[in-house]
Structure 1
Amino acid sequence: MRGNDEREVMLEGGIANRGRVVRVGDTVRRPLRPTSPATRALLDHLAGAGFAGAPRFLGVDEQGREVLTYVPGSAVTPPYPVWALTDEALLSVARLLRDYHRAAASFDPAPHDWPPSAPPAFTGELVSHNDVNLDNVVFRDGRAVALIDFDLASPGSRVWDVACAARLWAPLRPDRHIGDARRGRALDRLRLFADGYGLTDADRDRMASAVLANHEWCYDVIGTAVANGHAAFSRYWTSGTMARAQETRQWYLDHADVLRAALG
């Protein structure tokens, strides 16, 4: 699956597979996981549904890595470019997530083994992406065009993914932990994201609890990785992350009514 003249280029991105994801020509090579067959089935379904905003699964290479199509564009990695923090970029993420959910809604997850799913209150609708972080969205010309890194995808719901995305993109956290142009605008951007997605009234009522639950779920995933000896997550965990996470959790508890009012 690789020509002799195609070298491996390390790709920047998140923490879980740091240093283990490479580009080879117009493909991406990633480590296989026990739940890789489920992810492949989802990606195959998205391709069949005509959803262009996800990589295509191509097979397994001679080193036992899964091979995906490379999605051209820019993922948002630190230092965050100004264009990525605009309201226009935020709206494009909301619309991309809505389009993904439309395509994923007809996929049956039952035959497959998945990573840990959302709490029962937030499952049962569709397979959610579960990690709509800034570095997992590909942009072209300032517009979100694709989701990547489906490693955490599992049975969930629309509101669960919206809560995850809004939590990270608004972002929903104490202002002192926002060091860019989004500071002071978290609630406005939360409302903008919900409007851009077309979130239902029923799901707006559930957003405050979904945001808190998603925050706790995310840090449970990280804590499990740390307990299992994941070096990159261990460094992340000891860099002040735990204290910030606890402060943000309390912020969600203290501001639940404010979050609800922002979406009203």
Structure 2
Amino acid sequence: MGEVETLLLGGTANRGLVVRVGDTVRRPLRPSSPATHALLEHLDRVGFDGAPKLLGIDAAGREVLSYLPGETVTAPYPAWSMTDSALSSVARLLRRYHSAVADFAGDGLEWLEPVPPEYIDGLVSHNDPNLDNIVFRDGEAVALIDFDLAGPGSALWDVAAAIRLWAPLRPDADITDVRRGRTFQRLRHFADAYELGEADRLRLVDAAVLNHVWCMDYVRRGAETGHPWFHQRWTTYESDLTDRTNHWFTTQAEALRHALL
């Protein structure tokens, strides 16, 4: 009898292509896979338990990763995932990852999507700490998954990406869950939980603005090249939301900076 493959939901770029087989996850290879694999092997060597382990390549030419038990956050968001406690645990997990990856040299490897040069300082960041890319157990963030967008960046860039998605940083009218009305409090809460330094707090809002542009440009280009899920996402809601969020940042930037003081 062949191995049973169970489709794993979530994500956009690889939707419908990621499966669980027993205690493993099988994912398509990419041009940047050798770089991602080197990163995962480093994390394993230094004892970081918050990322999947690389187990090899299967007969179908897919990467084989260890399956990390737990829950990821997908809509409709469960109540526990929107708490300040869950938010703090995401910040702590991200800080642990940054500590574990600090001595990994990513130079000379082929990464998928370069980040703006002003946010590259020698650290290989995850770059996509989206809600469905973090594994929780008992309400605590314990692991990062989907390292496809990882590459040379910085801790600040990762923090900006995370808080942009987890606060979230967008107009209240576009927040349809219990986080509505709490953007500024959650922004400050995340920065405090991460123990973000003063210099990076001064740069965080600008980093979040640029991170939004960077991420949405990636989605737009995917849509324009015919990727079905990026196309659906961009044409259904992301294009309009991008414009509204860009305008919101221009009106709220100073208030966001003040919230971090």
TM-score band by shorter chain is over 0.9
Q: 1:68 aligns with which of 65, 71, 88?
A: 65
Does the 8 Å contact 1:53/1:146 carry over to 2?
A: yes
- TM-score, normalised relative to structure 2: 0.98
Which residue of structure 2 lines up, in the alignment, with residue 21 of structure 1? 18
Deviates more, 1:53-62 or 1:117-126: 117-126
Matched, 1:80 2:63: no
Which residue of structure 2 lines up, in the alignment, with residue 196 of structure 1? 193
5+ long unaligned stretches in structure 1: none
Which residue of structure 2 lines up, in the alignment, with residue 210 of structure 1? 207
Which residue of structure 2 lines up, in the alignment, with residue 98 of structure 1? 95
What secondary structure sits across from 1:172 in the alignment?
coil
Q: 1:185 aligns with which of 176, 182, 187?
A: 182
1:125 is displaced (CA, Å) by: 3.1
The residue type equivalent to 2:145 in the other structure is I
Deviates more, 1:91-100 or 1:119-128: 119-128
Per-residue deviation, residues 163-185 of structure 1 (Å, max 9, x unmatched): 10000001111000111111100
Within a 5 Å distance, the mapping from 1:26-175 to structure 2 comes to 26-175=23-172
Q: 2:258 aligns with which of 246, 250, 261?
A: 261
Per-residue deviation, residues 180-201 of structure 1 (Å, max 9, x unmatched): 1111001100000000001110
Deviates more, 1:120-129 or 1:196-205: 120-129
The residue type equivalent to 1:237 in the other structure is W
What secondary structure sits across from 1:115 in the alignment?
coil
Aligned length: 261
The residue type equivalent to 1:87 in the other structure is D
- TM-score, normalised relative to structure 1: 0.97
**Structure 1 CA distance, aligned partners of 2:120 and 2:247?**
24
1:5 is displaced (CA, Å) by: 5.6
5+ long unaligned stretches in structure 2: none
**Structure 1 CA distance, aligned partners of 2:74 and 2:227?**
21
**Structure 2 CA distance, aligned partners of 1:142 and 1:78?**
16
What secondary structure sits across from 2:162 in the alignment?
helix
